[in-house]
Chains A and B, each alone.
Chain A
Amino acid sequence: MSKVYATYNNIISSLGFTSSEVVANIHQQKSGLRLIDNSEIFSQPFYSSLIPGKKLNEVYSSIATKEKHTRLEQMMITSLNAIIKDSALSITNEVGLIIATTKGNIDVLEDKSSFPKKRAYLSELAKQVANYFGFITEPIVVSNACVSGILAIAIAKRYIEQGVYKHVFVVGADLVTEFILSGFNSFQAMSNKPCKPYCKNREGINIGEVAASVLITSDEKYLNEEAVEILGEGSCNDANHISGPSRTGEGLYRSIASALQQANINASEIDYISAHGTATNYNDEMEAIAFNRHQLSKVPLNSLKGYFGHTLGASGLLETIVGMHSLKNNMLYASLGFEELGVSEPINVIKETTPKQLTAFLKTASGFGGCNTAVLFKKVK
């Protein structure tokens, strides 16, 4: 079977509008999280990293068409436009588009929205994005809770292996809306401070906003500097609870096992883990258990939620891109917010940004509905 790669990539976020700019800020341990006090979004102040509206508007306006796009569509189009341009790949019937999102244009359900309610359908969002770039194939939307972004990469690989596409553009984004904030707040899952994944003093999650995109391809002509080979993947269910993770980390454990088996490598060959780390008690604990079941307790690990908060359907994509840059730069980035281990099993959380020769990394995510995804990546150059 031919190899499949992740290559050209972009991140639109509070820490910058290109992946390199964002990664440079992460290197400096700069967080995008700020206290937001805006009753238009939520009745109480909350920590979040929001894409600066003015800058988004500037960049989007420079590429805009006469079509009117929602904020989320603007985010996706702006991000995707960057990698379509960079890769110089022409859109043919061999090129797919996969969109990862949990809630799409959910803000159009608000009374104050000027867009038709129809835009809340995810296939309408997909059409807007696909039409802007003139995609010929029908776009696929992956909406699988908080694993959507990383699962979309796995799905792109699988479709390429099946010969459905030669290249797939994957874009992921979700908005910070009252819809989401009120929901997580009703679960009492939100932290009143910047989140602290895996830390003894963690108090819950922050919700953040990014758009991220990456080109998945089997064509080695399109590999860039930070390109990685996708070695293997798995996406297994906990079969335990719809809103709480398994106590044994069963689904995550099996997802990692499935990815390792397909990649045909040992857990000992993993140099770095880009984990989920939402900073809720249950999630972080579950991950520590699953990693230990694979003897991964000594592998350097981080959660990037301390930089962006939990960016929902985009998070797995965002964190994979940062992982790709980690490999390119041979740099382990600090897991921001972490002070003292707060999970019952040992894990090696990265405290300071440290240079290290890196070859392979594991990306994992978990979400509501008991879903988990694990994907293994290896440096090409």
Chain B
Amino acid sequence: MKKEDNFYITSYCSIAKGKLHLNGELLYENDNSDFKEFIKEVYKQQGGKYAKFFKMDNLSKLAFLASDVLLMNENLNSEENDIAIVFSNNASSLDTDRKHQKSIQNKDNYYPSPAVFVYTLPNICIGEISIKHKLYSENSFFIFDTFNAEKLHAYANSLLLNNKAEQVLCGWVNYDEDTYEAFLYLVSKKGTKTHSIKEIITLYTT
């Protein structure tokens, strides 16, 4: 007994292949092939003023910035906001896992660090976003082979239908061996663009 959709996609954002898009509009482009340089430029261009950003690993930087660009226009409350986060990817935190593994591989050059180890979990980026925007809300991180609109759609519906959240920030944030891709969208109870699997796929692929 699947319940009817009465929810809407009110905003969406992507960061991939040197481009930052918000609601289909190109906000920034830079052909710097080095992710660290590229993401720093995006951060600066977006007027970033958050020192913690520079301590984050690549996955968190990517997810944090995409969320920031999207949520910037949402008139968020400074006390708290009831926005759930449902993220997914393919590579989990493998980029940082490899760094931690490298630090313990060689007994003569052994340097495990808590600042690296803490990022060996994909949901840390959700924590970073929750701290910045005061989201004391539902969160979950899924790993799929590829972008799975169907599963994200059903899960966001479940949260909204059961009053577990007012809005749900969903999407895909993947960082792996210098390829990166963030695609996030905000699902709300009011709006014009219907929250359907077809719409999610359309926004993801265009």
Judge if B189 is at the interface, Cβ distance under 8 Å. Answer: no
**Complex Cα gap A187–B151 (Å):** 35
Q: Are B101 and A186 in contact (CB under 8 A)?
A: no
**Contact (A103, B97) CB under 8 Å given A143-B121, A370-B130:** yes
Interface string of B154-176 (1 = CB under 8 A from A): 11011100101000000000000
Among B8-16, B41-49, B68-76, B134-142, the one that faces the other chain is B134-142
Chain B facing A: main interface SS:
mixed
Judge if A12 is at the interface, Cβ distance under 8 Å. Answer: no
List the A side residues contacting B164 at CB < 8 Å: 234, 258
Q: Which of B113-136 contact A (CB under 8 A)?
A: 113-114, 117-118, 120-124, 126-128, 130-131, 133-136
Contact of A242 among B94, B105, B131, B136 (CB under 8 A): B131
**Contact (A142, B141) CB under 8 Å given A159-B158, A250-B136:** yes
Q: Are A162 and B158 in contact (CB under 8 A)?
A: yes
Q: What's the minimum C-beta distance from B172 to chain A, rounded to whole angstroms?
A: 13
List the B side residues contacting A239 at CB < 8 Å: 80, 130-131, 133-136
Q: Are B154 and A159 in contact (CB under 8 A)?
A: yes
List the A side residues contacting B1 at CB < 8 Å: 2, 163
**Contact (A234, B140) CB under 8 Å given A179-B104, A183-B100, A370-B130:** no
Judge if B22 is at the interface, Cβ distance under 8 Å. Answer: no
List the B side residues contacting A143 at CB < 8 Å: 92, 121-123, 141-143
Q: Are B131 and A241 in contact (CB under 8 A)?
A: yes
Contact of B145 among A138, A234, A367 (CB under 8 A): A138
Q: Which of A324-350 contact B (CB under 8 A)?
A: none
Q: Are B123 and A145 in contact (CB under 8 A)?
A: yes
Judge if B196 is at the interface, Cβ distance under 8 Å. Answer: no
Q: Are B136 and A254 in contact (CB under 8 A)?
A: yes
Judge if A235 is at the interface, Cβ distance under 8 Å. Answer: yes
Interface string of B169-185 (1 = CB under 8 A from A): 00000000000000000
Residue of A nearest to B126 (CB): A369
Residue of A nearest to B176 (CB): A121
Contact of A234 among B117, B138, B144, B150 (CB under 8 A): B138
Among A70-78, A84-92, A106-114, A193-201, the one that faces the other chain is A106-114
> How many B residues, CB 8 Å from partner?
55
Contact of B137 among A2, A164, A236 (CB under 8 A): A236
List the A side residues contacting B143 at CB < 8 Å: 122-123, 126, 140-143
Q: Are B112 and A102 in contact (CB under 8 A)?
A: no
Q: What's the minimum C-beta distance from A240 to chain B, rounded to whole angstroms?
A: 7
Q: Are B92 and A155 in contact (CB under 8 A)?
A: no
Q: Are B112 and A185 in contact (CB under 8 A)?
A: yes
> How many A residues, CB 8 Å from partner?
58
Interface string of A239-270 (1 = CB under 8 A from B): 11111000000110010001000100000000
**Contact (A121, B94) CB under 8 Å given A155-B140, A186-B117, A369-B123:** yes
Q: Which of B10-29 contact A (CB under 8 A)?
A: none
Residue of B nearest to A161 (CB): B158
Judge if A158 is at the interface, Cβ distance under 8 Å. Answer: yes
Judge if B194 is at the interface, Cβ distance under 8 Å. Answer: no
Q: Which of A164-211 contact B (CB under 8 A)?
A: 164, 178-179, 182-187
List the A side residues contacting B97 at CB < 8 Å: 103, 106, 109, 120, 179
Judge if A217 is at the interface, Cβ distance under 8 Å. Answer: no
Contact of B144 among A106, A123, A367 (CB under 8 A): A123
Q: Are A138 and B117 in contact (CB under 8 A)?
A: no
List the A side residues contacting B151 at CB < 8 Å: 140, 159, 164
Judge if A354 is at the interface, Cβ distance under 8 Å. Answer: no
**Contact (A121, B140) CB under 8 Å given A111-B105, A370-B130:** no
Q: Are B154 and A164 in contact (CB under 8 A)?
A: yes
Residues of B within 8 A of A (CB): 1-3, 80, 85, 90-92, 94, 97-98, 100-101, 103-105, 107, 112-114, 117-118, 120-124, 126-128, 130-131, 133-145, 148, 150-151, 154-155, 157-159, 162, 164
Task: State the 6 A-B residue pairs at the shortest beta-carbon distance, nearest first.
Answer: A369-B127, A183-B117, A141-B143, A163-B2, A237-B130, A158-B158
